[in-house]
A and B are shown apart, each in its own frame.
Chain A
Amino acid sequence: MKIAFSKPSLPSAGALVLAVAEGGALSPTAQTLDAETKGSLTRAMTAARFEGKANQTLTLLAPAGLDLARVLLIGIGKAKAFNALSAQALGGTVIATLLNAGDSEATLAIEPVPGVALSPAQIAAEAGFGARRRAYRFDKYRTKEKKEDKPSLKRLNVTVEAQAEAKAAFSRLDSLAEAISLTRDLVTEPGNVIIPQTLAEKAKSLTEFGVEVEILDEKAMRKLGMGSLLGVGQGSEHESRLVVMQWRGAADPKTAPIAFIGKGVTFDSGGISIKPAAGMEDMKGDMAGAATVIGAIRALAARKAAVNVIGVIGLVENMPSGSAQRPGDVVTSMSGQTIEVINTDAEGRLVLADALWYTQDRFKPKIMIDLATLTGAILIALGHEYAGLFASDDRLAERLTAAGTAVGEPLWRLPLGEAYDKQLKSDIADMKNVGGREGGSITAAQFLKRFTNDVAWAHIDIAGTSWSKKDSPTCPKGATGFGVALLDRLVADHYEDKGSK
């Protein structure tokens, strides 16, 4: 999909898309079209009860009086409430409506809307961003897709007076969209293709953006004493990996970095505590936290963010076998703390325990944020709307929450506390890896906290948000890439050198 920006001019062919605010008057372009079609536009709006409500659409196919293949009106809701996310939804709705509709080219005309706070250039750029994300497809394993099922739309032309400004703003967003697509790709890839070694290789490819990438194999991890992570991978035929990505973009590459840590269980069968068969295929996505960290580092490096940032991802496959970890096993983590493994399907926290400890031990970061598809309980608590946020630091929690709201990846904070921590008491080791059914997401976070060594830390449980079963205006169903835009925004708002933006 080619997305281009140009000065306003009415196209003579293809599809023309116009935005209509709720209860608002027609834009100058819409008025022109209405006149040229002898009022067809307003008649159709009345007949279809089209009022400009957000994401409402109205199609006029081959309208008489115009040479256009179609005119598409898209509602943008109330002008006052219109923001960057609404603009993204507008662009996404263009794609959702036209991608397979038969037209190969579409023009989205962005005109000033009275009452809207964003400039037309910003609207145009954000709409392009939404369009790019909605046009995401993962087709590499389709060998015989019918022609009519393939996208017909090849090019979206966004017209706006401040064309150059829009183009510049879009170029940064487009690079972010690329990073989100990378995360979506990695999550969508099946478990026989993405194993720890191959996912590490994917991370390695970030060197092309100037990221320094190290891959630790099992031998190296054994030397470091990462018994917690290694125990999870021991049932698999595929060796585990720990990948360290460093982007040193700050003026002083020696200043303390911030760190992102990701859970990368490339396939999670549950191990000996095996999962029920129904739905197990979704467990190819249990490395979404790691994929999000890869995507976020790519986004920051690609735009040369003035920040020192470390990405650490723990990559394992959790399988049952004759050599697999058993319930009841006791492992010694890199921190020296011992863990009784009660349930081998609570493996993500075991991986993160060593990854978190390693990160703070080696890099002394200002903050640590981990992302993980960690618990099913988070879906019971928050559904698919919010990811769960746990933090040892209120300021970090507030910053993350604000960044999430701004990019449409909302977080909801849940509590930590001594009482929950007690649930992890083991009869034989320093702790056990599950705290019982009650408060399952919280006790998981509490477990992680024991490996943060009091560094300011936040944990984001993305088990409910990394995969979507239905389309949204800016995301086709499937892997969402949740978290990439959020981390990018967090860095831009708080952790880049001043004046560098």
Chain B
Amino acid sequence: MIPSPVFAAVHTIPDPPLPFWTFFIFTVIKMVLVFTVYMVGVALLTLAERKISAWIQGRLGPNRVGGKLGLLQPAADGVKNIMKEETLPSHVNKPLFMLAPMLAFVPAMLAWAVIPFGAPWDSRWGRISMVVADLPVGFLFTLAIASLGVYGIVLAGWSSNNKYALLGGLRSSAQMVSYEIAMGMSLIPVLLLAGNVTLNDIIDQQANMHIWNVLTLTISFFIFTVAAFAETNRLPFDLPEAESELIAGYHTEYSAMKFSMFPISEYANMATSSALMATLFFGGWDIPFTKQDNTSGVGFLLVLLSIAIFMVKTLFFIFVFIWIRWTLPRFRYDQLMSLGWKTMLPLALAYIVIIAATLLGLDYLGLQRGFLYGLAMLAVNAVLVVVVFFILDRGRIISPAYGRATPQQISRLRAVTTARSHLSPQSGD
């Protein structure tokens, strides 16, 4: 019989529960800290986006408020947005119109509760895990909450009672539904490898294997990244806003702070997705090339170091989000749909089958989930990456402007047009 590696991989021994008041106080501290850092970070992201976009375009970006880097620009923007007039158009559905920004904002805040941001701390009061809520289903919770954000956008579009806003909302819901599936599917290989849905266990698995998941499951990472872009409505998937087509899409009718909620939630979602990418594929808070942090709790300095490492990884992905935004143009709607349903979903499904078969094979050979196991995965992965990026990606991932005409169709069209051009001078005689 095959030893059951899936359950062997689950090596989490539940920590002894903390006394209630210790738990309570530390949870409150963690909540306050995470919320503060998160909100300030999101505010600074708006500045980062403007700065990086400016640099990419050869400009300087905001530099009038708060020194050469414009560090007080987010504060100035916040004050401006609060002072502005709140417009409430007469034709909107008022309760839903007011509810929509909150519905977009709250899930964006919630998702961070379950993301571990540091190594557990062995303090004198017991082991403090560096995650606000250590849910056993943490990972599923994030996925569920992340897809709740679409309600805000759809309701904003619908309650605005405006054609452009409605179209934005419709596009958003279609986009979310299409990419949600690919995103979920792309993460199944990660779960298969880790054998658990707790984010801390996924980090442990990567630490034990000494190889980040991005190297063993590159295609999962690729699909997850693309889907995350679609989920956060970032370019090249910003069809719900699409300012050149839909004015401002779903937030056309919003002003002042209600409007500001939507960009804030977009940036918050971006930060969440980046943190998830760092956790699931890049080893999370694990300090590279060391072992002491993934066996048990560590001292305070190492905790700080692990938090710093996690932040660096997250910030890198946030940078990638911004970088891509100022590189790629927007997809056409049909390209968006065909990419989601015809490329991402089949790719993810096929990948699940291949990875599951590989894992089964490796387990059958009796390999333990260690470095050797990772190397074997790496070899399989290298082949798959070459197949996907150099054979599949030959004009097939995104359909070009003329659609996927076969050579036969093209030659038939050519025949028709040449026949026409032969005919026309004769008829002119």
A, B bound: no
A contacts, CB < 8 Å to B: none
B contacts, CB < 8 Å to A: none
